[in-house]
Amino acid sequence: MQSKTDDIEIRLLLDALFHRYHYDFRGYAMASLKRRLVQAREHFQCESFSQLQDRVLHDPTVLPKMLSYLTVQVSEMFRDPSYFAAIREHVVPHLRTYPSLKVWVAGCSAGEELYSLIILFREEGLEERTIFYGTDINPEAYRKAEAGVYSLDRIALFTKNHQLSGGKSSLSDYYTAAYGAAVFDKSLRARAVFSDHSLVSDAVFAEMHLISCRNVLIYFERALQDRAVGLFKDSLVRRGFLGIGSKESLRFSAHANAFAEFSREARLYQKHGGPGNG
Amino acid sequence: MPMLLRSSRARPAFTRSMEALEMAEHKPDSVVPRQRFRAIVIGASAGAVEALGAILPKLPAQFPIPVMVVVHIPAESRFSLVDLFQKRCQVKLLEAADKEPIQAGTVYFAPPDYHLLVEKDFHLSLSSEEQVMFSRPSIDVLFETASDAFGTGLCGVILSGANSDGAKGLQAIVQNGGVAVVQLPESARSSAMPEAALLVCPSALVLQLEQIGTFLAQCQVGEQA
């Protein structure tokens, strides 16, 4: 059956991507990955995944475009405002007790979530003592994040979300509109570091107080989810916070016991403080 | 577009299928032979509450086939289909969770603002990828991935709706040897979605809500005959 052949070819293509470029999608949940690979195959006008494999193996300029198909780039500022409201009301009071802070947005894509947190931290007077890390496996994505430029037609939604999240200022204070785009103020990224980091293969790089990784784990198979959550556990300080997507859960994770549910509704978890967890 | 969708091609299929069903009520095994499935997927949009309200309560508590449902609901909605229907249903209703194993006797709803997908090892995945045909969750995404996983063992059902989501997915189900069921457009609150589905799947079984409920409730677990 064609579907079986497709599956064989996809396995081979993922192997090829790994061996040639060290991008490892082999532990990704297949149903969604396959849909996106079909879109990539159509974009490159290939008849089969084997043809697509041939293209990407021999033409390195194909890779960036492939990555933009393979990684999901959908986010918005202050998406799920209740998540950011919960951070503002319940997490920020804990964070205030630290002299310096580190925040990591894992899988930052084009930076919407990272800017949301930076703005929130500025409004709460915590920005000055915080370093923000935005990481992604797709260099094009975190370069976009670094530029902080968004299409103007998205700004109405961002503004609405910001207000619903309990924003204390006007979002328009933070950007300049020109030529159909909104450029976010570069002072917002003065304390931000953008970098390449893979939850599949890379290790802990700093000790974090808050990690936000929303709607990233759903693209992983369970084994890879466990690896990523383990990485978050090891990265967080004792009693550090982890936020995940509104339909995600640590309930089934191998590391569920390392965390306490901090806000069930907002999907915020707090790492336990006891010995053996630090 | 709606004018185009009312194509004459789809018409004969309605009457043929209606006759088939009337006969099927007397001799279900011989006339509607394909009623063994491994999974059922249902898509509905405008008019979904009325349509599902006529179908889901007919499923018995120990319904042996898992059911996955996509209904278009606004992203910010807090309205729960599970809460709405559970007290009228015997079968267990759940909002689908990521990486949840698919179980018999359970109806899974896609959560608002997430696509619902079926993995080949028979668990569910969520995704917040781009909207498909302005919809997230998308019926096409569920149907296409479920068809990939269940092949000939899948039954796809398109109910009332005012767009054409699900047509492509239903076509994939038919192409993979599964069975398509479409609500009789005239009986639907919004006929566009059933019509769009029939345009690409003229062989679909076309039934009224009552009949769809009866048809599904009588299905048994197993590969399609």
pLDDT at A73: 81
Distance from CA of B29 to the nearest CA of A (A): 28
CA separation for the pair B194, A244 (Å, rounded): 37
Of A3, A31, A245, the CB nearest to B125: A31
Average pLDDT of span B46-75: 95
pLDDT at A78: 97
- Residue B180 pLDDT exceeds 80: yes
Average pLDDT of span A176-202: 95
What percentage of chain A has pLDDT greater than the value 90? 93
From chain B, which residues contact A within 8 Å (Cβ)? 97-99, 111, 113-115, 117-120, 125-130, 141, 144-145, 148-149, 151, 176
CB–CB contact B129 A31 (8 Å): no
Distance from CA of A97 to the nearest CA of B (A): 34
Within 8 A of B110 by CB-CB distance, chain A residues are none
Buried residues in A114-152 as b, exposed as e (16+ CB within 10 A): bbbbbbbbbbbebbeebebbbbbbbeebbebbbbbbbee
Chain segment B63-108, per-residue pLDDT in tens: 999 999 999 988 777 788 999 999 999 999 999 999 999 999 999 9
Can you give the pTM of this predicted structure? Answer: 0.90
Residue B113 one-letter amino acid:
D
Within 8 A of A72 by CB-CB distance, chain B residues are 127-129
Distance from CA of B117 to the nearest CA of A (A): 6
B75 → chain A, closest CA residue: A80
CA separation for the pair B182, B203 (Å, rounded): 10
Q: What is the mean pLDDT of chain A?
A: 95
Question: Would you place residue B15 in the very low, low, confident or very high pLDDT band (cuts 50, 70, 90)?
Answer: very low
Of B119, B130, B151, the CB nearest to A31: B119
pLDDT at B17: 53
| More confident of the two residues A278 and B152 | B152
| More confident of the two residues B158 and B4 | B158
pLDDT at A278: 44
- Count of pairs with CB atoms under 8 A, one residue in A, one in B: 63
Average pLDDT of span B45-56: 96
pLDDT at B225: 52
pLDDT at A94: 98
Which range is least confidently modeled, A47-56, A101-110, B6-15, B81-90? B6-15
- Residue B186 pLDDT exceeds 70: yes
CA separation for the pair A224, A210 (Å, rounded): 21
ipTM of the complex: 0.91
CB–CB contact B125 A34 (8 Å): no
- Provide the annotated active-site residues of B: 45, 72, 165
pLDDT at B19: 52
- Residue A199 pLDDT exceeds 60: yes
Q: What is the mean pLDDT of chain B?
A: 87
CB–CB contact A3 B176 (8 Å): yes
CB–CB contact B99 A252 (8 Å): yes
pLDDT at B3: 40
Within 8 A of B176 by CB-CB distance, chain A residues are 3
What are the helix (H) ranges across chain A?
2-21, 30-43, 49-58, 62-70, 81-86, 92-95, 112-123, 139-147, 155-164, 222-235
- Residue B10 pLDDT exceeds 70: no
Average pLDDT of span A220-226: 95
CB–CB contact B117 A222 (8 Å): no
SS3 readout for A75-125:
CCCCCCHHHHHHHHHHHHHHHCCCCCEEEEEECCCCCHHHHHHHHHHHHCC
Chain segment A228-247, per-residue pLDDT in tens: 999 999 999 999 999 999 99
Chain position carrying tokens 């689908």: B96
CA separation for the pair A74, B129 (Å, rounded): 6
Q: Is B62 exposed, middle or buried (0-12, 13-18, 19+ CB in 10 A)?
A: exposed
Average pLDDT of span A59-82: 93
